[in-house]
Amino acid sequence: MTDYKAIYKRWLESDAVDEATKKELSDIAGNEKEIEDRFYRELEFGTAGMRGILGAGTNRMNVYNVRRASQGLAKYMLSKGSNAAKAGVLIGYDTRNFSRIFAEETAKVLTANGIKVYLFDTVHSVPEVSFGIRELKTAAGVVITASHNPKEYNGYKVYGEDGGQLPPEAADVVIDAIESYDIFNDIKVFTDEQMQKSGLLEIVGPDLNEKFLNEISKQRLNPEAVYRVSDSFKLVYTPFHGTGSRPVQAILSRMGFGNVLVVKEQDTQDGNFPTVKSPNPEDKEGFELAIKLAKENDVDLIIGTDPDCDRVGVVVRDAEGTYRTLTGNQTGALLCEYILSSKAKKGQLSDKSTIIKTIVTTELAAAIAEKYGVKTINVLTGFKYIGEKMTEFEKTGSHEYVFGFEESYGYLAGTHGRDKDGVVASMLIAEMAAYYKTQNMSLYEALLDIYKRYGYYFEKTVSIVMPGKDGMEKMASLLSDLRKNPPKQALNMDVVMTTDYKMQTITDKDANVSALIGLPKSDVLKYNLSDGKTYFIIRPSGTEPKIKIYFGTVRESLEESEKTLEDLFDDVKKLLGI
């Protein structure tokens, strides 16, 4: 077991630790629970990078952990040869507290190791970094962000040369390198002056922004619809104090949207996110100001992007005037239908056309794709797996990527990047709403029309927060217990198939086991029920201290689907003892 007290003492006494950090640690002296939580483990660097609460300690996001992660990345880069070091690393950062500082510290470590660094001149979105890696042909990229997490968090995401998050094999190399270094003694780091004199730092300015917008513009499907309704069509946009403000407003203006109302209170670069509990476009709470503005201006559509602008939330007005927050699955289904139907009309689909979604994402997308003769590929949770498939398609020519999305509000149309893109998604959502307006339909009516044609698919995601060391142990125990004692029934139906993505097995109701083929290992359990229409999935979050449970069904009405999942959730809560 980690001697957290000894590590705490070392940080307090080390000459490598700055005085402000020592003061923070001195202030918690005697608080055993707090000391243990900060030092009982090292902040985990996984395939999605590193994310944690800001503060002093081995289990916190701070300059020392950022430097150590950067030293690990440097070792990985140098192991690939001198060409990788010359190609360099593009570093981007969002509006969170300490993001610019962490970006600069990353640059200082990489340049100290002889690696070329491209550093953005100001805050930039994840999609701009993903695009920039490909455009500048760098060997890797780093984004300082904690996406939609609360203000207490920040993070460190690493990207490969294709613009996608590092695949597991590459991430493992970086992780091994990180673990080989002492957090204080083994890190090479330049001073500001040394970095400037090295000739290895290049600041990236607005030219790349323009190239990005030009590439995004190519994904327009019905630009004439925007011009037809430009005088009357209005929408509300909020960047939730994040990086989306500049690129999203720019692309909407370029599209011809002249009536974009921006939530001014949320159009500030403020890592404290003062107007919301959490800058998460999944939560309707964050849209209160936007809904107020929409009501005052008779607006049907609200779009919001999270701080690093890789996720998009949508609020639409129904026929009764109620503003409804769409789920990620609903927005994804709308985009899927809009993109595929538009491309079908233009003759732009082929027998290679493919959409990609994650295993926890709505099956409605597959039903829509089937109608248009388009293939559907399922991957593990995490957009990096969608990006991996895109790169595979590019290399082999086996498929043509059309659209990819995940239920957690991430979408990508186009192959300009390899991560979810809130800029292109915002553009297409706005264009889609304008198109349906030319058909005398609102977006909500378009969604109901999809349900009517394909079936009333409905999904629900529930997160059970389990913070701290105790929470980590409880999550591990819960998943272990489920594997030892798998559920036999739920909602008065038999569990007819259990898919264990970690053990790579599929077990039927008679306990016959077959191998799961085609997907890497992941700590995920899926249970299909005997009606052939209903399932639930359990997995620990890869970025936050919580268990996530996904429910899905399809019924004869939306009300029936909703009721089914409410009842199923009650059953599963009893099953898990929560």
527-551 residue pLDDT tens: 999 999 999 999 987 666 788 999 9
Pairwise CA distance, residues 365 & 10, whole Å: 53
Q: What is the pLDDT of residue 478?
A: 87
Options 3.90.1150.10, 3.40.720.10, 2.30.29.30, 3.40.120.10; CATH of 41-204: 3.40.120.10
Return the closest-CA partner of residue 326 out of 421, 235, 429.
Answer: 429
CA atoms within a 13 Å half-sphere pointing along the CA-CB vector of 49: 27
Q: Does domain 212-454 have CATH number 3.40.120.10?
A: yes
Domain 457-576: assigned CATH number: 3.30.310.50
Pairwise CA distance, residues 308 & 472, whole Å: 27
Which stretches of the chain drop beneath a pLDDT of 50?
A: none
Q: What is the pLDDT of residue 542?
A: 67
- Which residues, 6 or more positions from 264, have their beta carbon under 8 angstroms from its beta carbon? none
Report pTM.
0.95
Do 457-576 and 41-204 have the same topology in CATH? no
SS3 category, 169? helix
Q: What residue segments make up the domains of the chain, in order of their start? A: 41-204, 212-454, 457-576
The percentage of residues in the chain with a pLDDT greater than 70, rounded to a whole number, is 99
Active site (catalytic) residues: 147
Q: State pLDDT tens for residues 321-378.
A: 999 999 999 999 999 999 999 999 999 999 999 999 999 999 999 999 999 999 999 9
Q: State pLDDT tens for residues 36-92.
A: 999 999 998 876 789 999 999 999 999 999 999 999 999 999 999 999 999 999 999
Return the closest-CA partner of residue 281 out of 311, 324, 302, 241.
Answer: 311
Count CB-CB contacts under 10 A for residue 402: 24
Handedness of CA 330, 368, 366, 428 (dihedral sign): negative
